[in-house]
Amino acid sequence: MLVQMIQELWRILNEMGGVPDDWGDPHFQHHQGYYESVPLSTDNFTPFSSTGEEDKVVCCVDGGNNCIYRSPIDSLHLIRIYFNLFKGRTRSKNVKPLNAFLTVKQGYESIECRIRPIESYMPISETEFILNKEDLGDGNGENAGRIIRTYLEWDTMSHVVEKHLDEGDILVKDGVLQTSVEGEKEHSDRLYGLVEKHNINLVGVAKSCSLKTTMGHPLISAVRFIGDGLEEDLWYYHPLAINKNPDHKGDMAIVKYHPRSEYVFRTEFYEGVDMDKKEVLGHLANQAKDPLFLGYPYGLVDADMKARVTDEETRHLRRAGTDRMRKEVSYRIKALDAHDRLSNL
């Protein structure tokens, strides 16, 4: 049976292959009017070189979160935010991650969230946030951890600019330079003002990209396939579009950071700072030589690993808290956890 299944899998994968005659052009279906697409062309590829100079600090920021307990009316989450500081491929300073608990309580019209930091070495204190149910998509607290984590990521980047970076240094955000939830803009605008004031090169690098072309092909794959026909080892493809979205401050590009990497990445440059794209990408390419993830800047690998909140960790905290849990809290949680109990059998 297994052999038959694998052979059928191979046949299906072979049918899924094939190079299209026309890739189409970048397409922004959900934001028509905000983006003026630029047709795909080999003229939009620009070569650049990796630099070995250690004259600039490169800081990468990431966050993680996971739910520890949840009931129909409240939940408890663990949030972790981390940033690192590198010069070239050398870590210039060891930094501890911020760990914080988040309590979420659902009301009729809004959701009350309270962040409770476990460490206090970063200027993030116990704070209450009020979220509108309509801003959470599903109308409940399931997405609250992700939203508050996003706020804290922006705030951490502002802290880094004020305390750890100098003019011309590079700040790398995991993900794009776009706000998508209510209240996020207040936090992002503060960062944007600081990077402009201190002339910091702010860049966003996304792990994945769901953009497509007008012919329905993945945009990042189309650019990668066209780029494979060029002689340049390292390149960035720019522009993809003229961006007029007030909630999106990124000048979009697709970047190949290592000549032997199987991956290219959507990369965005903050439009409020006049930066030398080749120089900035050269510093990131210098970090993208680690075989752990060839072609992805190591600072982002490190930030992802240090900020991650795993299921194993939350299970440990769940077990540790069960014996001290008041009965009424336990009964609320049992309203939703039978499926998880069965999955663990």
- Extract the tokens encoding 36: 């003026």
Which residue carries 């605008």 as its tokens?
189
Of the candidates 54, 108, 38, 55, the one whose C-alpha atom is nearest the C-alpha of residue 252 is: 38
- For residue 247, the one-letter residue type is D
**178: region left, alpha or beta (phi > 0 left; psi from -120 to 50 alpha):** beta
In this predicted structure, the answer to whether residue 282 has a pLDDT above a threshold of 90 is yes
How would DSSP label each residue in 199-242? T-EEEEE-S----EETTSSBHHHHHHHHHTTSS-SSEEE--SEE
Whether the model pTM is above 0.85: yes
Q: Output the pLDDT for position 66.
A: 94
Q: Output the pLDDT for position 324.
A: 63
Element at 93 (helix H, strand E): strand 90-93
**339: region left, alpha or beta (phi > 0 left; psi from -120 to 50 alpha):** alpha
Give the pLDDT confidence of 23-48 residue by residue, as tens digits. 788 888 766 689 999 999 999 999 99
Which residue carries 């409020």 as its tokens?
272
In this predicted structure, the answer to whether residue 18 has a pLDDT above a threshold of 80 is no
* Rounded distance between C-alpha atoms, residue 325 and residue 187, angstroms: 35
Longest dimension (CA), the chain: 67
Say which range, 107-121, 141-155, 175-189, 327-341, has the weakest mean pLDDT. Answer: 327-341
Residue 38 sits at φ, ψ, to 5 deg, of -105, 125
- Residue 231 banded pLDDT, cuts 50, 70, 90: confident
How would DSSP label each residue in 70-109? E-SSEEEEEEEEEEEEEETTEEEE--PPEEEEEEEEE-SS
Mean pLDDT of 199-208: 96
DSSP 141: G
Mean pLDDT of 329-335: 53
Which residue carries 């939203």 as its tokens?
147
Residue 260 vs residue 124, higher pLDDT:
260
* Rounded distance between C-alpha atoms, residue 255 and residue 258, angstroms: 9
Q: Rounded to a whole number, what is the distance in angstroms from the first to the last CA of the chain?
A: 27
Q: How high does pLDDT run on average in the chain?
A: 87
Beta 201-205 vs 170-174: how paired, if at all?
Answer: parallel
Length of the chain: 345
CA distances from 19 to 196, 288, 335 (A): 43, 28, 51
Mean pLDDT of 113-137: 78
In this predicted structure, the answer to whether residue 67 has a pLDDT above a threshold of 70 is yes
Tell me the chain's radius of gyration from C-alpha atoms: 22
In this predicted structure, the answer to whether residue 195 has a pLDDT above a threshold of 90 is yes
Residue 143 vs residue 191, higher pLDDT:
191
Residue 52 vs residue 304, higher pLDDT:
304
CA distances from 265 to 22, 40, 257, 258 (A): 22, 17, 8, 11
Give the pLDDT confidence of 258-277 residue by residue, as tens digits. 999 999 999 999 999 999 99
Q: Output the pLDDT for position 23.
A: 78
Q: Show the domains of the chain with their CATH numbers.
A: 42-66+83-98+153-309 (3.30.420), 313-343 (no CATH)
